[in-house]
Amino acid sequence: MKKSGKPASRAPEIIPRAAHNVSRDEISKSALKVLYRLHESGHQAFLVGGCVRDAMLGLHPKDFDVATDATPDQVRALFSNCRLIGRRFRLAHVRFGRDTIEVATFRAAAIHASDDVEHDDEGRILRDNVYGNIDEDVWRRDFTCNALYYNIADFSIWDYVGGVGDIDRRRLVLIGDPDSRLREDPVRMLRAVRFAAKLEFSIDPGVIGAMQANVALLTNVPAARLFDEFLKLFEAGFAERTFDLLREHRLFGELFPATDEELDKDAAFVDFVRAALRNTDRRVAAGKSVTPMFLIGVFLWAPANRLAAIYRNQEKMSESQSLSLAAYDLAAQQQRRISIPRRFTIPMREMLALQPRLLQTHGHRAMKLLEHRRFRAAYDFMLLLADTGQVDARIAEFWTKVQRQAPDERAASFQIRTHMPPARRGRRRRKRRSNSASSS
C-alpha cells in the first residue's frame, strides 16, 4: 500500500504520445493557451486530474485543471485575466469569458514548523499551501486515476502511482493510507462515490473499509462545502446510481438524516425518490436545466408530511399551512449538515405547500393556481407522485389537460360559470301620492 507523504525517490512511468489516446483535440483552447504560455515562460505545465482521466476513457472532458511549478503570484504576473482565490488552497483562476482554467502550484508535505499548513484535531486539512515539485505534488492527490499528468512539453503522460493500470481495471484506489487520507479530507468519501457512479468504477476494498470507519467525520466538514458536493453528486447525470452508493456506504444519512430515517421505513417514499432521481438524470442527458430546489423538496417530502401531521394535531391549520411550516423547520435543521441557500429553500416550501391544493380541481381558487409562480414546479412534483401511485392519476391528467385549454374551456373544466343570465327586471311601480299631497 502506498504511504502518505512523498516516498523515497520514485520516478514516474512516462508514457509517450504514441502510446496513449489523449489528444490536444480534446483539450479546450483556453487550457492550451495557459499551458503554452507557462511552458514558453520557462515553467513546467501539466494538465492533471479528471480531465486526463476522462480523456483516456473517451468521455470528452469539459473542465481542465493545470499544475505548474509557477507560484500563484507568478501565474498572475503572466495573465492579466487571472485572479487568486482560496485560503485553504491558494489557486489561480485564469478567465476566458465564461471559461475558467484553474491553475495550481505543485504542493508538498509540510516538514517545517513555519510551513503554511493547518489540521484540526481529527486530522482534517484546514490549510495547505506548502509548495514543492511534481515529484512531491503527486502524493498530495487523492485517487490514482486522478494523479496522471499530461505534459504540454512533449504530450507525454506521467504516471507515478499506477493510475493508468487502475483506469484499465476501472478501480478507485486512494494514494497512500486510506484511513489517513480520508481523515485529511472526509469529502473524499463523497468523491469516491461520485467517481464510482460516474465512471462505473469499483471502489477498492481498502477504501471501503476506511469509509466505514470514518463516515461520522463528514459532520466536521463545513456545511457550505457539503452543499457544493451535493450539487456535484446529484446534478451531473448519474443521480440514481449515486443515491444507491451513498445508501450502500451509509453516507446518505450523514447528508440528509431525516430523509434517511424515512427511507428505512417507507418503501413508497423510496420509489418516489428513485423516480425523481431518474427524471433528473433524463433532464441532464437531454441538456435541460435542473434545480437543487426540486430534489431538496423530494428528499424532504416524507419527513415534511410526518411533521406536518403533528402540527395539524397540535394546532388548527390547513394541510398547506402545516406542510409549509414543516418544510421550513426541516430546512432549518438541514442547514446543520448542508447549507442550502434561501433562494432554494423558499421556493421548495412553496412547492410542497401547493401539493394539497392541487388535489382540488373545482372553482376559482383552484384555477388561480395556474398563475402561481411555483405552479410548474409543483405540477412536476405532483406528476412524480402520480407516477408512483401516491396521487390519483386522474388528478395529474386534469392538470395536464387544463394547461392546454382555451379560457372558456378551462373555466368549464373547473366548473366555473362564465356567462350568468341577466337578472330579471321587475316592472317599476309608481309611487302613490298620499292623500295629504293630493289635497294640498
Residues 31-71 have pLDDT tens digits of: 999 999 999 999 999 999 999 999 999 999 999 999 999 99
Q: What is the pLDDT of residue 111?
A: 44
- C-alpha dihedral (227, 130, 147, 98), degrees to nearest 10: 50
- φ and ψ of 9, to 5 deg: -35, 130
Q: What's the pTM value of the predicted model, to 2 decimals? A: 0.85
What pLDDT, on a 0 to 100 scale, did the predictor assign at position 377?
A: 96
Low-confidence ranges of the chain (pLDDT < 70): 1-9, 88, 109-129, 418-440
pLDDT of residue 439: 45
Q: Distance (Å, rounded) from C-alpha 401 to C-alpha 132?
A: 64
What is the tens place of the pLDDT at every residue in 291-312? 999 999 999 999 999 999 999 9
Q: What's the chain's length in residues?
A: 440
Query: What would the DSSP string read from start to end of 262-281?
Result: HHTT-HHHHHHHHHHHHHHH
Show the domains of the chain with their CATH numbers.
13-180 (3.30.460.10)
Q: Which residue has the cell 452508493?
A: 245
pLDDT value of residue 263 = 97
Q: Classify each residue of 153-167 as buried b or exposed e, where b means 16 or more C-beta atoms within 10 Å of its C-beta.
A: eeebbbbbbbbbebb
Long-range CB contacts (within 8 A, 24+) of 328-333: 330/258, 330/300, 330/303, 330/304, 331/296, 331/300, 333/258
Residue 113: the pLDDT is: 44
Q: CA 117, CA 390: separation in Å to the nearest integer?
A: 53
Provide the annotated active-site residues: 63, 65, 142
Instruction: Count the neighbouring beta carbons within 10 Å of the beta carbon of residue 21.
Output: 11
All three cell numbers of 199: 465512471
